[in-house]
Structure 1
Amino acid sequence: MILDDFLIYNTNGLYCKCGDFYLDPQVPVTHAVISHAHADHAVASNNEVYCTEATAAFMQLRYAKNAAKVFNIAAYHQSFVVGGVAVTFISAGHMLGSAQVLMEYQGTKYLYTGDYKIQPDATCEPIEWAKADVLITESTFADPEVLHPDPVVEIKKLNDISLNIMLGAYSLGKSQRLINLITEHAPQKTILVHHRIMPINQVYERMGYKPGKYQIYGRKLMKQQGGFVYIVPPFTFDSYARAKDVKRLFASGWKNLQVNKQDTLFISDHADWNDILEAVKQVQPSQIWTLHGDGRHLKNHFNNDIFVKLLS
């Protein structure tokens, strides 16, 4: 039987009362199951964290001694029990170490996707699927009008830009994916990376996921004409809003982060409308619970075929 209150929101975040733990809590808690290491899902200073090896490595890199008091590391498909709930991590395809969280309680399966991506990405584990009674899906881009373009087609746009490029991207996950795409599909470009991205790349390489060909940024290099792509985190990108003799692009699925009308780079690490429908097809849930976005389009789409509940 599906428990309507198996997951509830409170002031700390998304709480599983049957297991007394939080999924990607918004503030430090006693027991946290972390889907992936992006800061909006993985806060510092939790007492006890359950996550994949890569997620722990990134949290330890970012938060050092404040990452967590205790890390419980689990591989994909390695089940463990938290407070009476059986938990299994399944690859989410979002970034290295990202996991969907399959929870089993009293014979019912609840699948929390975290952030997930279906598009191929050589810098992380590909998405996998599991059947569940309830699919708890992110709905960041749950809109029939939002369909992500082919990332290869998008990255090949760089081949037509003669100026040096300042490419804004989130340091963790997106930057490594961009390095790989540029290495493969714009090989004549020389990739430079911001110094804060380098330690993250080192974790990727240590875990067997070399992003591609890159080198640390040098000011003299960017003064040369053409051929360079300098990947920078958002705070650096924003601080050079008036940079001259350089093409500024921001790689994102969000329209408001595209800074040039004539040159856009729509590369998203989230599921679009068709991807969410594919997730429903693969998981075959009796109910869909949505969060991290607007689930009303899904509710209207499935009408009476599948019950859709908006958690947030």
Structure 2
Amino acid sequence: MIKEDFIVITPTGLYCRYGDFYLDPQQPVKEAVVSHAHGDHAIGGSQNVYCTAPTESFMKHRYRKFAAVDFHIKAYHEQFKIGEVFISFYSAGHILGSAQVFMEYEGVKYLYTGDYKIEPDASCEPFEFVKADVLITESTFANPETIHPSSIEEIEKLNGTKSNIMLGAYALGKSQRLIQLMHQYCPGKNVMVHHSIMPFVKIYEDYGVKLGNYKMYDRKVMKNNPESQVYIVPPMVFHSYHKAINVVRVFASGWKKLQQQNGISLYISDHADWNAILETIEKVKPQQVWTLHGDGKQLKEYFDGKLAVKILN
């Protein structure tokens, strides 16, 4: 029988009382199961952190000695137990090392996706479809009007301008994906990377991900070459230089609001869109869907009378 309170939202985060652990807690806890290393899912200071090896590496870089008291590194498909709950990780396709958390208790299977995408992305492990009784899915873009375009077609837009480009992107995950995409589909561009992004790039390469050609940002190169330079910067830098001259401003995101007032729109998202969420539900074959990290109302309406959808947030 499905436990309707198997996962509950608390001020600390998503809590599983049957295993006495938290999924992606927002405050330090004793037992933390971390899906991936983005800051809204992975914080420092917990006593025991269960995650993949790349997630540990990213967290140790970001939080240094405060990342965790102890890390418990688990490979994909490796089963472990916390309390009375059996747990294993499956690739989420979001960023390098991102994991879905598969949990089994009293014969019932619960699958927490964390953030995920099913679109092919050579910079990280591909998404794995896993059958479960309850699918606990992110719903960031759970809107029928949100259909992400091809990332290849989007990145090729950059070939349409010779001007230098300031490309805003999240330092972890998005930047590395963009470097790889430009290497493959924008060979005429010289890619330069902000210094704060570079450590994450190196961690990707340490895990064997081939990103292609890039260089550390050099102001003189950008100044002396008015064409074909792409400078990848984190959001804070991108927004602080909102009046940067002699560059085309571009921000890589699935959010329309982040495309406004930019020279080129670049809809490249690392989250599942409406069609991807529907495909995931179809292949997971859950008895119930629980939604998180977004608005699940339209999913609930879409499946009304056909599948139970519970909005957790």
Which bin holds the TM-score, normalised by the shorter protein?
over 0.9
Moved more, 255-264 or 39-48: 255-264
Instruction: Work out the CA distance in 2 between the residues paired with 1:286 and 1:306.
Output: 7
Give the superposition deviation at 1:263. Answer: 1.8
Alpha-carbon contact 1:133-1:285 (below 8 Å) kept: yes
**What is aligned with 1:186?**
186
**What is aligned with 1:254?**
255
Instruction: Confirm whether residue 278 of structure 1 aligns to residue 311 of structure 2.
Output: no
Gaps of 5+ in 2: none
The alignment yields a C-alpha RMSD, in angstroms, of: 0.8
Moved more, 258-267 or 235-244: 258-267
**What is aligned with 2:222?**
222
Give the superposition deviation at 1:173. Answer: 0.1
Instruction: Work out the CA distance in 1 between the residues paired with 2:163 and 2:178.
Output: 18
State the secondary structure of the residue aligned to 2:265.
coil
State the secondary structure of the residue aligned to 1:143.
coil
Instruction: Work out the CA distance in 2 between the residues paired with 1:282 and 1:91.
Output: 15
Give the superposition deviation at 1:222. Answer: 0.6
Task: Write the letter of the residue equivalent to 1:269.
Answer: D
Deviation by residue 1:94-127 (Cα, 9 ceiling, x = unmatched):
0000000000000000000000011111110000
Instruction: Confirm whether residue 293 of structure 1 aligns to residue 289 of structure 2.
Output: no
Aligned 1:152-163 pairs, distance under 5 A: 152-163=152-163
Name the TM-score, length of structure 1 as normaliser.
Answer: 0.99
Instruction: Work out the CA distance in 2 between the residues paired with 1:234 and 1:219.
Output: 19
State the secondary structure of the residue aligned to 2:264.
coil
Deviation by residue 1:16-75 (Cα, 9 ceiling, x = unmatched):
000000000111111000000000000110111000000000000110000000000000
Instruction: Confirm whether residue 144 of structure 1 aligns to residue 144 of structure 2.
Output: yes
State the secondary structure of the residue aligned to 1:229.
strand
Instruction: Work out the CA distance in 2 between the residues paired with 1:251 and 1:222.
Output: 20
Alpha-carbon contact 1:249-1:259 (below 8 Å) kept: no
State the secondary structure of the residue aligned to 1:264.
strand
State the secondary structure of the residue aligned to 2:230.
strand
State the secondary structure of the residue aligned to 2:57.
helix
Alpha-carbon contact 1:194-1:216 (below 8 Å) kept: yes
Aligned 1:30-45 pairs, distance under 5 A: 30-45=30-45
Instruction: Work out the CA distance in 2 between the residues paired with 1:52 and 1:81.
Output: 15
Alpha-carbon contact 2:248-2:262 (below 8 Å) kept: no
Instruction: Work out the CA distance in 2 between the residues paired with 1:216 and 1:78.
Output: 37
Summarize the Cα distance change of 1:5–1:68 in structure 2 as closer, same or farther, 3 Å threshold.
same
Instruction: Confirm whether residue 266 of structure 1 aligns to residue 296 of structure 2.
Output: no
Alpha-carbon contact 1:138-1:291 (below 8 Å) kept: yes
Task: Write the letter of the residue equivalent to 1:275.
Answer: A
Give the superposition deviation at 1:138. Answer: 0.2
**What is aligned with 1:71?**
71
Deviation by residue 1:190-230 (Cα, 9 ceiling, x = unmatched):
00000111111111011001222100000001111101000
Give the superposition deviation at 1:259. Answer: 3.7
**What is aligned with 2:210?**
210
**What is aligned with 2:88?**
88
Instruction: Work out the CA distance in 2 between the residues paired with 1:308 and 1:201.
Output: 38
Gaps of 5+ in 1: none
Alpha-carbon contact 2:133-2:285 (below 8 Å) kept: yes
Give the superposition deviation at 1:261. Answer: 5.8
Alpha-carbon contact 2:250-2:263 (below 8 Å) kept: no
Task: Write the letter of the residue equivalent to 1:204.
Answer: Y
**What is aligned with 2:238?**
237
Give the superposition deviation at 1:262. Answer: 5.5
% identical aligned pairs: 59
Deviation by residue 1:243-294 (Cα, 9 ceiling, x = unmatched):
1110011000011111436520000000000000010011000000001000
**What is aligned with 1:59?**
59
Instruction: Confirm whether residue 97 of structure 1 aligns to residue 94 of structure 2.
Output: no
Instruction: Work out the CA distance in 2 between the residues paired with 1:4 and 1:259.
Output: 41
Task: Write the letter of the residue equivalent to 2:50.
Answer: Y
Task: Write the letter of the residue equivalent to 2:229.
Answer: F
Name the TM-score, length of structure 2 as normaliser.
Answer: 0.99
